[in-house]
């Protein structure tokens, strides 16, 4: 085979590579209308760190039964599957991407996680669905799974996690689904919805 033939075949292989893409659950796969409170919650982090005696850079982990119950109630705000999941399904069926759910939900939220995996028919769309069942910091769990699964792209809605993943996995593109309060933050891979992030995936797969 000639050198030009080798180059052509290599280029063709790269162009036809199936992207491995991970998706967060809450605010990405599931619609969550109160996502806009996150910038407000960030302002309150120093207060929360003082009250709960936690590192202000860490994500809150509820320890008491009451805290876990309240935290579970908060997750009920993820109330329906985003219509953009049909776009993911189309990308999977056309062999454009290999899709995974990688959720930071803690272990005590397993019931809700399993419910939404079944409700969204995720087992027929996603190659794997993974929950943070060891209760790691959400960004650390996601960084570990990105590395373990060899993901090329991860889709996230939490700006703090986006920033941490950029550092922990610098070779991975992190797509950010923003909201109306923090949409003015400059970021090259910023999208207003799951559907628009899927349009980006379609163009680059």
Domain map (residue ranges) of the chain = 18-39+75-203
pTM of this structure: 0.83
Q: What Å distances lie between residue 84 and 53, 71, 198, CA to CA?
A: 39, 26, 8
Identify the CATH assignment for 18-39+75-203 out of 3.20.20.70, 3.40.80.10, 3.40.50.1000, 3.90.800.10.
Answer: 3.40.50.1000
Mean pLDDT check: name the lowest of 15-19, 50-54, 76-80, 104-108.
Answer: 50-54
Helix, strand, or coil here: 95?
coil
Over residues 42-58, the pLDDT tens digits come to: 444 444 444 444 554 58
Q: What distance in Å separates the CA atoms of residue 17 and residue 35, rounded to the nearest whole number?
A: 33
pLDDT for the residue numbered 40: 40
Q: Which residues contact 99 (CB under 8 A, 6 or more apart)?
A: 21, 22, 23, 88, 91, 92, 125, 126, 127
**Element holding 163 (H helix, E strand):** helix 159-168
For the segment 197-203, the average pLDDT, to the nearest whole number, is 96
Check whether 120 has a pLDDT greater than 90.
no
Question: Does 116 score more than 50 pLDDT?
Answer: yes
């Amino acid at each position: 085979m000639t050198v030009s033939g080798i180059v052509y075949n290599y280029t063709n292989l790269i162009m036809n590579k199936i992207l491995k893409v991970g998706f967060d659950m809450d605010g990405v796969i599931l619609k969550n209308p109160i996502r806009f409170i996150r910038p407000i919650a960030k302002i309150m982090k120093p207060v929360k760190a003082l009250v709960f005696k936690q590192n202000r850079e860490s994500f809150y982990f509820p320890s008491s039964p009451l805290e876990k119950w309240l935290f579970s109630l908060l997750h009920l705000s993820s109330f329906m599957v985003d219509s953009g999941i049909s776009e993911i399904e189309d990308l999977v069926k056309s062999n454009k991407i290999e899709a995974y759910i990688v959720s930071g939900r803690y272990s005590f939220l397993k019931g809700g996680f399993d419910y939404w995996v079944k409700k969204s028919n995720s087992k027929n769309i996603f190659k794997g669905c993974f929950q943070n069942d060891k209760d790691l910091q959400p960004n650390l769990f996601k960084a570990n799974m990105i590395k373990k699964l060899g993901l090329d792209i991860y889709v996230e809605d939490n700006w703090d996690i986006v920033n941490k993943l950029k550092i922990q996995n610098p070779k991975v593109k992190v797509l950010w689904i923003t909201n109306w309060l923090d949409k003015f933050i400059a970021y090259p891979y910023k999208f207003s919805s799951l559907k628009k992030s899927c349009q980006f995936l379609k163009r680059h797969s």
